[in-house]
Homo-oligomer: A and B are copies of this chain.
Amino acid sequence: MGATQTLGRFAAEYPFDGIPADVLHLSARCLLDYVGISLGGWAEPAVQIACSVAHELGGREDASLLGGGRTSLLHAATVNGIASHVLDFDDTHEPTILHGTGPVMSAALAAGEARGARGVDLLAAHAIGFEVAARVALAVHPEHYDQGFHVTGTAGVFGAAAAAGRLLGLSADQMAHALSTAAAQAAGLREMFGSMSKSLHAGKAAANGLYSALLARGGWISAAEGIEGRRGFWAVLSSRMEPQRATGQLGESWELRRNGLKPYACGVVSHPTIDAMRRIRDSAQLSADEIVDVRATVNPYVLELMGKREPSVGLEGKFSIFHCAAIAYLDGTARTRQFTDDAVRRSDVIELRQKVRAEVDATLPTSAARVEVAARDGRVWKESVTAATGTPDNPMTDDDITEKFLSLVEGRLPPARARETAARCLAAADLGDVRELLSLVAGR
């Protein structure tokens, strides 16, 4: 049995009560993080434009927009998916750089709301959808990503199809057709990084995956080997494939355990450098104008993904290791406020940014970095980070995620409602109906 059929059977039939409790809790943490970053990103132009197009197109109002209002399932998946990724603040599956929850949860929430699913079903469907997306990506990583595909779009669509399909009650056969139909729509290019279309990848992956599931429920027949076939997703979008990474130990190991949440609102590969700069700030107590040199030694992906030397707008700052290092030292953190247009143009930021050098060391994983800061008086501080905050080996606590959530929804949800929403997300396994959570977010 090939990957399309094997993953289809897994997604349709793996018993929800077979999912370990820690995996379901990881899923609840993802839900909390997802709702917070989506609400935090709601005012972004990309989200607002997509909202207004959705409004213009109309649709049966079966699903909630996280930022308020209702629309059709597909529009909700698209817009919520864009919102979940627009701040570049969402989760990262370490082995593949997949940002999986945006596509998967956006599709699952829409389908779950339409079906009145229980909270535990939403979490389980997310865990299974995440698993499918991550495994489809694993089989072609790193070649697929190195070639220039944005895996959040290209692999996210499979996870969205799986999660939505499960909540819609697809059979194994229908689910395989849904996954193959997702392959027919898989898209996303790294060229889009730094533009609104990067977040569109997450939104369209969610919507196209959900659409695949809806078609499959209606009897849609797709290619039997859409993922693994000679002209299928893996062969065509990668120079190499390792199918057993997709199908081996299915249901025994869980990719959510290798998923990290972001404490900082920028490219995840910069996080160890930010951790190091924050530590040096705390230990050195040195004012920025006394610094003469900052040398960061990092994984080669860092310069490839975040090599923007002189960012001129906030979004570019998220893809500049130089900006990240500088502002983390100056502000002691790297939240959304550190990536506004004003922030990248601050004179103190520009001054320190120009002192930052980055060197690559291919033996360092993306979760690690070494940083040296030299002062005018000759003193040098060194920090070596092996597992950045938020990575699976150094996870954010539930309280950390709650705090991140509260800071993101500030001004959007009243404080009491914000706290209740956070608590309900973390305890989503106890929700009788996901619509309760969505009503709470909407203040209905």
Q: Which residues of A contact B (CB under 8 A)?
A: 45-46, 49-50, 52-53, 56-60, 72-74, 147-149, 153, 180-181, 183-197, 200-201, 204, 208, 211, 214-215, 218-223, 225-226, 229-233, 235-236
Contacts and interface: CB of A to CB of B under 8 A. Distances in A.
Nearest to A52: B218
Contacts of A56: 60, 214
B219 A49 contact: yes
Given A184-B187, A191-B226, 4 more contacts: A56-B60, A148-B231, A189-B226, A195-B221
25 contacts: A45-B221, A49-B219, A53-B218, A56-B214, A57-B72, A58-B60, A147-B236, A148-B231, A148-B235, A183-B192, A183-B197, A185-B187, A185-B204, A187-B187, A189-B236, A191-B230, A191-B236, A192-B222, A192-B223, A192-B226, A193-B231, A196-B222, A197-B223, A200-B215, A204-B208
A197 B222 contact: yes
Nearest to A222: B197
Nearest to A55: B60
Nearest to A229: B191
Nearest to A78: B211
A386 B439 CA distance: 67
A231 B267 CA distance: 17
B200 A46 contact: no
A220 B58 CA distance: 19
Contacts of A201: 184
Contacts of A53: 211, 214-215, 218
Contacts of A231: 148, 189-191, 193
Contacts of A57: 59-60, 72-74, 214
Contact of A215 (B49, B58, B225, B232): B49
A167 to B, nearest CB: 15
A190 B236 CA distance: 9
A72 B229 CA distance: 34
Q: Which 3 A-B pairs have the closest CB atoms?
A: A58-B60, A148-B236, A148-B231
A440 to B, nearest CB: 26
Contact of A184 (B153, B211, B220): B153
Given A59-B58, A59-B59, A231-B191, A185 B214 contact: no
Residue in A72, A149, A193 whose Cβ sees the most chain B Cβ within 10 Å? A72
Contact of A191 (B72, B188, B214, B223): B223
Given A53-B211, A58-B72, A148-B231, A192 B197 contact: no
| Residue in A60, A72, A187 with the greatest tally of chain B CB atoms within 10 Å | A187
Contacts of A196: 220-222
Contacts of A149: 236
B236 A222 contact: no
Contacts of A225: 191
A80 B180 CA distance: 21
Contacts of A200: 181, 184-185, 215
A227 to B, nearest CB: 9
Contacts of A208: 204
A217 to B, nearest CB: 8
Contacts of A185: 187, 200, 204
Contacts of A52: 218
A174 B247 CA distance: 43
Contacts of A50: 215
A52 B216 CA distance: 12
Contacts of A190: 231, 236
A188 B223 CA distance: 12
A148 B229 CA distance: 10
A187 B193 CA distance: 18
A376 to B, nearest CB: 39
A379 to B, nearest CB: 40
A187 B186 contact: yes
Contact of A220 (B46, B148, B191, B232): B46
A191 B49 contact: no
A153 B187 CA distance: 11
A197 B180 contact: yes
A246 to B, nearest CB: 16
